[in-house]
Amino acid sequence: MEPLSEKYRTAVASALDLIVVSEGFRDMGDLEAAPIRILNPRLLGRLGLSATDVEGWEGKALGAFFCRYVEGRDALMGYFERLRRAYVVDDAAFRLVCGDRTLDVGGRSQVIPSQADGYYFLGVFQDLTGQRLLETQLRKEQADRAEWDTFLRHELRGKLGPVIGFSELLIDSSDKFSEARIKDFLKSIYDSGHKLNDILEFTREFQAYERGEIEVACTEADVYGTVRNAAEEAELAVRDAEANHPTLWNLVPHPKGDPIPLLHDPLKVQRALRNLIQNAWEHSPEAVTLRVEEVEDGVRIRVHNGGEAIEPARLAGIFEKFNSTKSGRMGLGTTLSRLLVEAHGGRIFAVSSEEEGTTFTVWLPKKA
């Protein structure tokens, strides 16, 4: 082949796609060994390769270039085999790797016969990284939507049962029941309606929080008092279900005995902690221990219970949605706690062992 004109080389170099053209080769068995004639640098720059790096590949073997940057040797060997057999691969797709950078590319490759040179290779690849990210996001959203659909069907079906059942009784046999009994039926229908509304409102709120739409009204307040208020709220909720349960929580006194001022939204932090305290109590044979500690860059809050350890597989996803192992529970409490803590710029994590029990730790920064 004759040398490329400067005008043609400039046009190729400015192309957005990755263009690879080989010198001519006489036998298809020499495909991988064919020297590279054209390799434009623009797309490869996203892998961190300079124009000089790219120019250094010109004249070197086509197969060496692909082996150097393409992830997955088996897939690469299959790609060359398809080219030798069919002369065209319309759906070539690779992940290029250079150091810690990756680039997903795909496009059309072909071996073109030439009377003068035998054959030459032409490959044109587009950047698919954005497309792959979009596809991953779409799959995640579809899976998320399916989870919500399953959750809502389960929750709504359970709450609609009394509404439908008692309504049928009132329609078909109201003359067989006393006025007091009819009022009981109506009360059950009324309560179920409110529970349905609560589920739908919570779902709307939770999904808004997942999108990052949390309004945090920060004020400088005593975070020790916020923890105490959260514990008292959790105890009220538990008392409704377990009137004879002993003390629910023990808040370890702050060593200095002074308030711990922190810029935070007391109501939202209370809500996050209330979920953790109630969950801890449900898995503990004794009172939940709460500790508040001032650290250099913020405040650390620990919620500890001495119950059975959480299995490692479940612990890894403890802050993901729908993680409850108990029937009739949403499995959204710890996820909500995480969202509320992260909205403050904080962090939350959990550790668990048979010897030490389980501890949820919330860290809140001094400046939210």
Q: State the average pLDDT over residues 291-306.
A: 92
> Over the stretch 78-133, which tens digit does the pLDDT of each residue have?
999 999 999 999 999 999 999 999 999 999 999 999 888 899 999 999 999 888 88
Burial classification of residue 138, based on how many CB atoms lie within 10 Å of its CB (0-12 exposed, 13-18 middle, 19 or more buried): exposed
Least confident of 6-10, 129-133, 253-257: 6-10
Burial classification of residue 219, based on how many CB atoms lie within 10 Å of its CB (0-12 exposed, 13-18 middle, 19 or more buried): exposed
How much of the chain, in percent, has pLDDT values that exceed 70?
92
Using the predicted structure, report yes or no on whether residue 181 has a pLDDT greater than 70: yes
Using the predicted structure, report yes or no on whether residue 283 has a pLDDT greater than 50: yes
Please tell me whether the overall predicted TM-score, pTM, comes out greater than 0.85 for this model. no
Using the predicted structure, report yes or no on whether residue 328 has a pLDDT greater than 70: no
| Residue 235 pLDDT level (bands cut at 50, 70, 90) | confident
Q: Which domains occur in the chain, in start order?
A: 6-127 (3.30.450.20), 133-210 (1.10.287.130), 219-365 (3.30.565.10)
Give the integer Cα–Cα distance in Å for 284 and 247: 12
Q: What is the pLDDT at residue 327?
A: 58
Where do we find the tokens 């390769």? 49
Q: What is the pLDDT at residue 149?
A: 84
Q: What is the pLDDT at residue 261?
A: 92
Where do we find the tokens 């059975």? 308
Q: What is the pLDDT at residue 212?
A: 86
Burial classification of residue 25, based on how many CB atoms lie within 10 Å of its CB (0-12 exposed, 13-18 middle, 19 or more buried): buried
| Residue 270 pLDDT level (bands cut at 50, 70, 90) | very high
Q: What is the pLDDT at residue 243?
A: 53
Buried b (16+ CB within 10 A) or exposed e, 301-332: bbbbbebeebeeeebeebbebebeeeeeebeb
Give the integer Cα–Cα distance in Å for 134 and 86: 31
| Residue 269 pLDDT level (bands cut at 50, 70, 90) | very high
Q: Among the residues of 249-296, which ranges form H helices?
A: 266-282
Q: State the average pLDDT over residues 262-275.
A: 94
Using the predicted structure, report yes or no on whether residue 245 has a pLDDT greater than 90: no
Using the predicted structure, report yes or no on whether residue 13 has a pLDDT greater than 70: no
> What is the CB neighbour count within 10 angstroms for residue 248?
21
| Residue 254 pLDDT level (bands cut at 50, 70, 90) | confident
Cβ atoms of 230 and 269 closer than 8 Å: yes
